[in-house]
Amino acid sequence: MRCRTAERWLSRALDRPLDDSIRKALESHLAGCAGCRAAASELRALRTRLSQGVRPEPVPGFWGRIERRLAEAPSLEPQAVWLRWGLRAIPASLAMIAGFLGAMILFLPASVETSPAQALLFGEQNPLAETRTIIDDDKPGNRDIAVLFAGDERLNGLGRTPRP
């Protein structure tokens, strides 16, 4: 056992009993180490002096002084009460907001019905690109048919399916 470890065990021995193995190792170290023996007796002496320190009596009339102070300020200032309740309300409000957001996520339908215009907008589809393919068609007959059917959503869904 090294002196540093012995010193730690010496301090602990002042507070609670050491395990047998540690106590024996410490005793054997102390038997051969004058420095640690001196440290042990110094520690005990310091402890004794501290525990025998002068402890004066409390000043008489203690409760009377407490009572006076309580009478001077019987309760908390109204402002302090509001502040205290306000501070307590913060976590409750945060919990309610979190609950509300959670409920929205849980109970809102996964897919929302969209209008053709919204579908185009959210799908990032460009209607002009489709129009361009119709205009670019060489045969006027084909152009007329395409224009005729392009607006009919019953036939081709949103009427914006890409042309081959």
Partner 1 sequence: MDERTIVEEARRGRRDAFEELVKMYSRKVFHLAYGFVRDRAAADDLSQEVFIKIFRSLEKFRSDSEFGTWLYRVAVNHIKDHLRKTARRKEVSLEDLGEGPIAVADPAEEREAERETEAKRRLLFRILESLPPKYRLILTMRDVDGLSYEDVAKILDIAPGTVDSRLHRARKMLRKRMAAALAQEGG
Of the pair 21, 111, the CB lying nearest partner 1 is at 21
- To partner 1, the closest distance from the beta carbon of 98 in angstroms equals 26
Cβ atoms of 25 and 8 closer than 8 Å: no
Nearest residue (CB) to partner 1, 68 versus 132:
68
End-to-end alpha carbon distance in the chain: 89
Residue (44 or 132) nearer to partner 1, CB: 44
Query: What is the contact surface with partner 1 in residues (CB under 8 A)?
Result: 7-8, 11-12, 14-16, 39, 42-43, 46-47, 49-56, 58-59, 62-63, 65-67, 69-70, 76
CA–CA distance from 147 to each of 58, 60, 130, 142 (Å)? Answer: 103, 105, 10, 9
Cβ atoms within 10 Å of 26's Cβ, excluding its own: 21
Cα 51 from chain centre: 44
Query: 91 vs 164, which CB is nearer to partner 1?
Result: 91
Q: How far is the CB of 55 from partner 1 (least distance, A)?
A: 6
Which token pair is 135? 């205009």
